[in-house]
Structures are given as structure tokens and as C-alpha cells.
Amino acid sequence: MSIVTPWEVEGSIDYDKLIQEFGTKRISPALRERLMKETHEKNVMLERDYFFSHRDLDLVLDDYAKGKGFFLYTGRAPSGPMHIGHLIPLVFTKWLQDRFKVNLYVQLPDEEKFLHKREYTWKGVQGYAEENIRDIAAVGFDPDRTFVFKNSEYASNVYPLLMQTAKKVTFSTAKAVFGFTNETNIGMIQYPAYQMVPTFFEKKRCLIPAAIDQDPYWRIQRDIAEGLGFHKTAAIHSKFIPPLQGVHGKMSASVADTAIWLNDGELAVRKKIMKYAFSGGRETVEEHRKLGGNPDVDVSFQWLKMLFEPDEQRLKKIEGEYRSGQMLTGELKQILVDKLNAFLATHRERREKADVEKFMYEGKLAQKMWETTYEA
């Protein structure tokens, strides 16, 4: 049994079943090849099936080939510091932007977090947003093609478009898709309209890279977009980076020790992986040497496989040695610790240097949004 909604991911996730339930499509080997061919570069997140599902990605590539172009949109709700799972869709988005040279909008729905849980205060969320924006800026997007905005700050610019969107979605649809009840506050009930709005920022097809938990918004968007004179949005969905404690569910911001945070120091990363990362190893060293470990349930191996060991041969070697018992759990964990610390050190350095203003400046891109807003 598993639950996957924009606010909750639990249990053992059957990704094939999710594709069926959500009505998305698996990225076929041919489509994956086409995307990598178009970009002239292989991508480990595609090759390893971490980005595994889509909506209309083929049409996005058709539009691109015909010279119509497309644009990118993604987001982050400021619920606290960011963990590795939050950064990965952004890293993939940057890859797409670098290759296709397209515009990107990054939404920070501060009001979503404020409305979602009693314990979030308005002021607290603003602080998280400020911190998160630095992490986003550190990813290295093209400043001339990227606009990062906080929902509360940008609201007056999108208000007409937001209302046009909200008018098209009934409470019964929102209830069915998001599980809202009579106890849900009415701010939250309107929120989904704002998450759809950036898909209407340009009169081109929008492509959204995110984990599959965000897909319910896109399902509604696709029902109403054409009626508003826009394209149905396209999406490319990733799996979840599993929590340290096991291969089920997702690394979660609400359970601190399930995650590696972007502000975790080297020692914290080591301690956490050594203490919490669920291991496929045996009880004793002797048993492990004799019977071997199980990389399929080992979280450190799964993280290496999903993203952190891009070298295919090295990954195969690690897998073989662990399965045969030649490599011990502590050794496997150390490989991941080194990879993570190198990744985080680079991120920290970029974060220090990041020029946030460049991305939030309401320049050319924002102007375009205004125009679409009032045309619709």
C-alpha cells in the first residue's frame, strides 16, 4: 500500500501503478534516446530511469524541432531548509535549460506552506523562502532566462490570471484530486490555482520537471488550459529519493533524520549515513563475507545508483563486490559519504557566491507574464 499526494508520500511505491493511476506515460527507451540526442548529451538521471514518466514530452520535442520552442517551470515550497531531494529536480531543470536555452520560472509558494500547517507562521515561512532562494540561485541557472518569484510578492501581477484559473476549477474537482475535506481551510482550497498559473506565463508549451507527487496539479491544468487559450502543460516526472531508513517512501522535510540537508556539514553527513542509512548487509562480518550483501534494499547503494555514481563501470563493480561479500557495509557507506560531501561542498561554495537579485529582477521575463495575464 502506498499514498502519493503533493503533501504526503508513504509506503512502498509501485511506480508502474502510479503511472496507471495518474494517467501519465512511461518514458520509452526511444523517447529517452530522442531527448538525449536532441541535447547531444547523456544524462544519468534519464539513463538510470530516475526521471521515468511524462506527459507530452514528445510534443515538447516536436515543438522544439519546429522552432516553436517551449519553456520550463518548477518550484519549491519553503517549508524549512532544503534537502537533497528538493535540489535534484532543479539540477535536472538546469540541464534542460542549458541544453535547450529556454526560459525558466521558479515558483516559491510561501502561502502554500503557511496555509498547510498550523505550526507555520507567516514570518517563519518568509525566512525559509529567503534561504531557499539562495539554494536555488546556487544551481546556476541562466540569469537572463530565469525568473524566481515568491507567490505573495508577485500576486498582484498574476491576480487576473489566477482568478481566471480559479473560476475554472470546482470544489468537487479539488476535493477529488487533492482529498480536501470540510475541515480544509479555504486558502488551501484556492491554492492549486496558483500552482497552475505559471504554466500560462507564455503562449508556448510548458515543461515541468518535478517528482511525480506534483502531478495532480498538472492533471487539472490539462483539463482547463485550452479553454483559457493556452497549451496543456507537459511534465517530466522523477521518482523519489528514498529516506535514509529504507527504500520506501520519500526523503521528507518533516522527518529530519530521513534526509541529508543542503546545510549538513561533512561530519553530520558521515554520522547520519553511518547511523541511519538502511543497510543490505548481514548481521556479522563473517556472515557478510560468506553470504554477501543485498544492494537492492541498501539505501546507500540505491542513492549511488539513482544519481551519485554516474560511472556505470564503477557502479557495477561496487554492486558486484557488495553482493559477493567482498565489500562491507561500512565501505559502501563511505563511498556515498564522500560523494555527498563533494556534492555539498560545491553547492555551499556556489551558494556563497550566488547573486539572488539577478534571478528575482522583474526584467524581460516578468514583462512577458504581464502581457499574457491581460490577454487571457
> Measured from the CB of residue 40, what is the shortest distance to ligand TYM in angstroms?
26
For ligand TYM, the closer of residues 244 and 354 by Cβ is 244
| 213 near ligand TYM, rule: CB under 6 A | yes
Choose the stretch contacting ligand TYM; rule: CB under 6 A; options: 17-25, 37-45, 123-131, 238-246: 238-246
> Measured from the CB of residue 221, what is the shortest distance to ligand TYM in angstroms?
11
Q: C-alpha angle with apex 194: 5 to 226, nearest 5 degrees?
A: 95
CB atoms within 10 A of CB 279: 20
Nearest-CA neighbor of 161 among 192, 188, 201, 189? 201
| 325 near ligand TYM, rule: CB under 6 A | no
| 340 near ligand TYM, rule: CB under 6 A | no
Choose the stretch contacting ligand TYM; rule: CB under 6 A; options: 35-43, 133-141, 174-182, 209-217: 209-217
Residue nearest to ligand TYM (CB): 75
| 109 near ligand TYM, rule: CB under 6 A | yes
| 75 near ligand TYM, rule: CB under 6 A | yes
| 216 near ligand TYM, rule: CB under 6 A | no
| 240 near ligand TYM, rule: CB under 6 A | yes
In the list 32, 54, 76, 150, the residue contacting ligand TYM (rule: CB under 6 A) is 76
Residue type, 352: E
Nearest-CA neighbor of 219 among 18, 11, 12, 10? 18
C-beta of residue 106 within 8 angstroms of C-beta of residue 76: yes
| 111 near ligand TYM, rule: CB under 6 A | no
For ligand TYM, the closer of residues 260 and 327 by Cβ is 260
- 53 bridge partner residues: 26, 237
In the list 19, 60, 115, 211, the residue contacting ligand TYM (rule: CB under 6 A) is 211
Choose the stretch contacting ligand TYM; rule: CB under 6 A; options: 16-24, 59-67, 236-244, 343-351: 236-244
Choose the stretch contacting ligand TYM; rule: CB under 6 A; options: 25-33, 62-70, 80-88, 276-284: 80-88
Number of residues that bind ligand TYM (CB under 6 A): 24
d(CA 340, CA 273): 10
Contacts of 341 (CB under 8 A, 6+ apart): 266, 269, 270
Q: Which residues of this chain interact with ligand TYM, rule CB under 6 A?
A: 6, 73-77, 85-86, 88-89, 107, 109, 112, 195, 208, 210-211, 213-214, 238, 240-241, 250-251
